[in-house]
């Protein structure tokens, strides 16, 4: 089977999601996915002295939670592929240091989780790893200070603004060829599409949905065209954090590209704080779609509520420095197709056990 | 052949370096590799209004130079894997935007070039791409301002300090299976080792060599042990930017681990400004080892001066924010083995031409 399809898309045969874990903050606990997180932190500092230290602890605890759920020793993990929003991706890098893990650091703003899944899937399917941790996180306090204003200033926001999600999502991707059927989940990563930066000319750090929607449209369209799929081939086309305004824009842009995705489309950012006061256009941050995927969506997929999700993490490549110099903010989106395989028959299992 | 060796190392069979290009600044032009760069910029601004814009232009022009040297249309490039030192890796991300390239952004501080080569080699060897651009850059003005002090302050530096290299290095990695022998170079990527963050407890942003030397030692030792090699299996063990102080430390640390690498070891940081006034402990930055590799080392390898280089790019995961909060600075190093294959015989070439 050809593994590369068109310019941007890839097919995977041997990759499955063995386990997942998520953590979130106190506001997220009251939100849509509140009961699905593995744990939530009771305040923004999580017993530490800074938001950055709290984010790192949340990330590291979430990795440990996953390893416990998967009954996997950390020595069996080949590497961690991850990143976060903080300058020099300190959450992930210091997490890898504290966990003593080989580490490949990535930066894709809020597209990081899908980028990690793409790279891990290529590494596993290519035969270079058995188990890879994909992880990312964000924190309201650390991100707002870095990209916009310190929380202490109480700066008001316009309706297009989004609130960074305090959350972590971690996945364990594994090689089916090296796993006994009885230890496999049925959740497979079957294809993916590498995104291009697309720049609609936005300069406003409080309008990230508009900065990301064209990149999401570009990647979803490339995915559907290159893999010859239709929107209805997916139960859900799940974008990262376009928010309500960005989601509306995406629908219009997709229509111009010849696809109506309104029925399939859901956005983690628009969902995560739904119904809560002052959620503006929704949630954002690397941890938004990562914690949503690694809580509600994968758990419900395992229960067969959904069978096919196109996970499209969306990132705004916002740099306060170059935006102050007059540059605009490009978006980028990477897509990963997650599918529930048919149930293994008893025969498959006994056959594999015998052959061991 | 097993592709994964031990916990951290990998073997590649089908990856070669098809082309390379480098650019550097006016000080670097006077340095050790001055006559080897494809082009140099005459002043730090390169006709732009900011150091960041100058760095981006240098990077983009360097990619275009490579494509011209390789006579390759940009549409034939599957993606760009790269990063740089600037927050939100703006040089690479905006470069990918301007070049309309699928983009996988990475952050490994000054270890970025080796990380890009590892990821690209897995992607190519796994059958997911034919041509991948690996690129990285750094700029004295933009990096000093972000990590230490703005140049305009004229802040004095201690002897352990290093000067960020203004430079870009870009490589084109390609799949041998999809290339005719007559279009192949003999420069192959044969193995690699993914590094772990190692933290010796340094807090001084002017002592990066000490922060990185333990990570370099850890990765080189893992590489030699896992792949059952000796230092003398390489003509050069080429670290990124440990500088003179960091290199001395590396020799001591390697000896403790049971390896004497003094004969094989060279450091791009210690070499790049050698003989120039006020070079302190040497050069640093993503662009330091990237521009050295993509100028002097690969050019001389092609002329058979060296046959086997272990390229070990070294990064200090320095975050001014968390260091101000009391954190220490971990280092990370990734290694890639670059080897000159034997000359193809006339028979090989005529055989391959016939079989097309």
Q: Kindly report the average pLDDT of chain A as a whole number.
A: 95
Q: Which of B50, B114, B124, B197 to mutate to test the interface with A (most CBs of A within 10 A)?
A: B197
Residue-level pLDDT at A349: 55
CA distance linking residue B39 with residue A9, whole number of Å: 34
B9 touches A: beta carbon within 8 Å: no
ipTM of the complex model: 0.96
Once rounded to an integer, what is the mean pLDDT over residues A309-337? 97
Q: C-alpha A256: how far from its chain's center? A: 26
Q: Write the pLDDT tens digit of every residue in A259-287.
A: 999 999 999 999 999 989 868 899 999 99
- Residues of chain B short of pLDDT 70, as ranges, are 1, 278, 345-356
Is there a contact between A130 and B93 if contact means CB atoms under 8 Å apart? no
Residues A138-167 have pLDDT tens digits of 999 999 999 998 888 989 899 999 999 999
Q: Are A59 and A139 in contact (CB under 8 A)?
A: no
State the DSSP code for A293: I
Are the beta carbons of A106 and B104 separated by less than 8 Å? yes
Count residue pairs from A and B with Cβ separation < 8 A: 184
Interface of B with A in 295-334 (CB under 8 A): 317-322, 325, 327, 330, 332
- Whether A87 sits inside 8 A of B321 (CB atoms) is yes
Residues 6+ apart with CB under 8 A from A275: A31, A32
CB-based contact, B339 to chain A, within 8 Å: no
Class of residue B304 by CB neighbours under 10 A (exposed 0-12, middle 13-18, buried 19+): exposed
- Confidence (pLDDT) at A343: 84
* Rama region for A152: left / alpha / beta (φ>0; ψ in -120 to 50; rest): alpha
Judged on CB neighbours under 10 Å (0-12, 13-18, 19+), B230 is exposed
DSSP for B34-67 reads TTTSSEE-SSTTTTSSSHHHHHHHHHHHHHHHHH
- pLDDT of B356 reads 43
Q: Does B128 sit within 8 Å of A103, measured CB to CB?
A: no
The shortest C-alpha distance from A34 to chain B (Å) reads 30
Q: Does B32 touch chain A (CB under 8 A)?
A: no
According to DSSP, the residues that pair with B20 across neighbouring strands are: B171
Q: Say whether pTM exceeds 0.90.
A: yes
Q: Is B205 on the interface with A (CB under 8 A)?
A: no
Q: How far is A247 from A242, CA to CA, in rounded Å? A: 6
Q: pLDDT-derived band of residue A346, with 50, 70 and 90 as boundaries?
A: low
- Cβ within 8 Å, pair A126-B130: no
Mutate to test the interface with B, among A5, A53, A128, A222 (most CBs of B within 10 A): A128
Taking the CA atoms of B163, B337, B88 and B52 in sequence, report the sign of the dihedral they define: positive
Chain B: closest CA distance from residue A229 (Å)? 20
Per-residue model confidence (pLDDT) at position A175 = 97
CA angle at A82 for the pair A77 and A83, rounded to the nearest 5°: 155
A283 touches chain B (CB under 8 A): no
Three-class DSSP category at B293: helix
- Per-residue model confidence (pLDDT) at position A181: 87
Q: Is the alpha carbon torsion for B243, B244, B246, B251 positive or negative?
A: positive
Identify the band that residue A348 occupies on the pLDDT scale cut at 50, 70 and 90: low
- CA atoms of B292 and A122, how far apart (whole Å): 29
A93·B128 Cβ contact <8 A: no
Q: H-type helices in chain A, by residue range?
A: 26-29, 51-69, 90-99, 112-125, 140-147, 208-226, 243-256, 268-272, 286-292, 298-302, 320-324, 346-355
Best-predicted range by mean pLDDT among A1-5, A90-94, A349-353?
Answer: A90-94
Structure confidence at residue B209 (pLDDT) = 97
pLDDT per position as a tens digit, A211-262: 999 999 999 999 999 999 999 999 999 999 999 999 999 999 999 999 999 9
Look at residues A155, A215, A41, A129 and name the one whose alpha carbon lies nearest to residue B7.
A129
pLDDT class of A347 with cuts at 50, 70, 90? low
Distance from CA of A65 to the nearest CA of B (A): 21
Q: Which domains does chain B have, with CATH numbers?
A: 4-175 (3.40.47.40), 191-344 (3.40.47.40)
């Amino acid at each position: 089977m050809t593994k590369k399809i068109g310019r941007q898309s890839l097919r995977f045969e041997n990759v499955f999601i063995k386990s997942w874990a998520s953590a979130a903050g106190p506001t997220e606990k009251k939100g849509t996915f509140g009961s699905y997180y593995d744990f939530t932190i009771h305040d923004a500092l999580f017993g530490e002295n800074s938001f950055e230290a709290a984010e790192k602890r949340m990330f590291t605890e979430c990795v440990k939670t996953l390893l416990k759920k998967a009954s996997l020793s950390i020595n069996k993990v080949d590497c961690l592929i991850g990143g976060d929003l903080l300058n020099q991706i300190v959450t992930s890098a210091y997490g890898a240091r504290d966990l003593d893990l080989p580490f490949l650091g990535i930066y894709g703003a809020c597209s990081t989780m899908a980028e990690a899944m793409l790279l891990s899937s290529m590494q596993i399917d290519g035969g270079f790893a058995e188990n890879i941790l994909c992880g990312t996180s964000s924190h309201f306090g650390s991100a707002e200070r870095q990209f916009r204003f310190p929380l202490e200033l109480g700066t008001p926001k316009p309706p297009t603004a989004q609130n960074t999600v305090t959350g972590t999502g971690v996945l364990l991707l594994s090689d089916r060829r090296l796993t006994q059927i009885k230890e496999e989940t049925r959740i497979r990563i079957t294809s993916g599409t590498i995104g291009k930066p697309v720049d609609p000319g936005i300069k406003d750090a409080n309008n990230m949905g508009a900065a990301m929607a064209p990149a999401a449209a570009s990647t979803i369209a490339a995915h559907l065209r290159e893999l010859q799929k239709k929107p209805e081939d997916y139960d859900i086309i799940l974008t990262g954090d376009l928010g309500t305004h960005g989601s509306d824009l995406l629908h219009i842009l997709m229509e111009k590209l010849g696809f109506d995705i309104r029925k399939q489309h859901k956005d983690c950012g628009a969902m995560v704080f739904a119904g809560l006061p002052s959620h503006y256009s929704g949630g954002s941050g690397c941890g938004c779609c990562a914690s949503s995927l690694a809580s509600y969506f994968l758990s419900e997929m395992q229960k067969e509520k959904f069978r096919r999700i196109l996970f499209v993490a969306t990132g705004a490549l916002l740099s306060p420095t170059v935006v102050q110099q007059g540059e605009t903010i490009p978006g980028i989106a990477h897509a990963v197709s997650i599918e529930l395989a048919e149930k293994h028959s008893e025969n498959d299992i006994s056959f594999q056990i015998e052959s061991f």
